[in-house]
Amino acid sequence: MLFNVEKLMGIIACIMKRMDVKSINYMKVIKLMYLSDRLHIDKYDSSISNDEYYSMPYGPVLSRLYNLIMNESCDKFQREWDKFFLRVGYDIAIRDTSVNEKILELSRAEENTIGEIVAKYGRMDKCDLVNNVAHKLPEWEDPQGSSIPLPLRKIMEALGKDKKEIDTVLAEREIYEKEFA
């Protein structure tokens, strides 16, 4: 599936709205977003964010989201991101509350998945999320201070999907990406 920065911002807005916060630690939001994607993959064989995943020292990371937060994304996406969010130290703050309209980019199933993750993990601090959740995920591999690509196949295998299902999902994604790229 194709990456959509508008939808990515909708996911963050949804998490922050459900947690009733105007700012959030960026490591925490990255973990909540990864867990949301992971649960959605488990339930529906598809990601919410359509981001790329990497194993990094503090657990799985959504690559494009990380680059946006660190102000290292391509100009087009970074300009769009910077309209709505601001990084203040280790937190992401809402710059423009109209970002909440981006929640409309999400399906009801996607919002429900995010809601489940926020209900289960939203009260945990970033350290608990890293040490007691992210580092215990079977797909995460310690990159020894670097980063390692974390393919969707590996996530689906860790979720217990069978090879035939994984192959079908990945083949459908490839066809979709070729058709709409």
Task: Find the length of the chain.
Answer: 181
Inform me whether the pLDDT recorded for 1 exceeds 60: no
What's the whole-model pTM score?
0.95
Given this model, what pLDDT does residue 50 score? Answer: 92
Residue 137: count of CB within 10 angstroms of its CB: 18
Mean predicted lDDT score pLDDT of the chain: 95
Inform me whether the pLDDT recorded for 157 exceeds 60: yes
3-state secondary structure the chain: CCCCHHHHHHHHHHHHHHHCCCEEEHHHHHHHHHHHHHHHHHHHCCCCCCCCEEEECCEEEEHHHHHHHCCCCCHHHHHHHHHHEEEECCEEEECCHHHHHHHHHCCHHHHHHHHHHHHHHCCCCHHHHHHHCHHHCCCCCCCCCCCEECCHHHHHHHCCCCHHHHHHHHHHHHHHHHHHC
Residue 10: count of CB within 10 angstroms of its CB: 24
Decide: 107 and 1 in contact? Cβ < 8 Å: no
Residue pLDDT, tens place only, 84-141 = 999 999 999 999 999 999 999 999 999 999 999 999 999 999 999 999 999 999 999 9
26 is written with which tokens? Answer: 């960026």
Residue pLDDT, tens place only, 19-35 = 999 999 999 999 999 99
Residue pLDDT, tens place only, 35-58 = 999 999 999 999 999 999 999 999
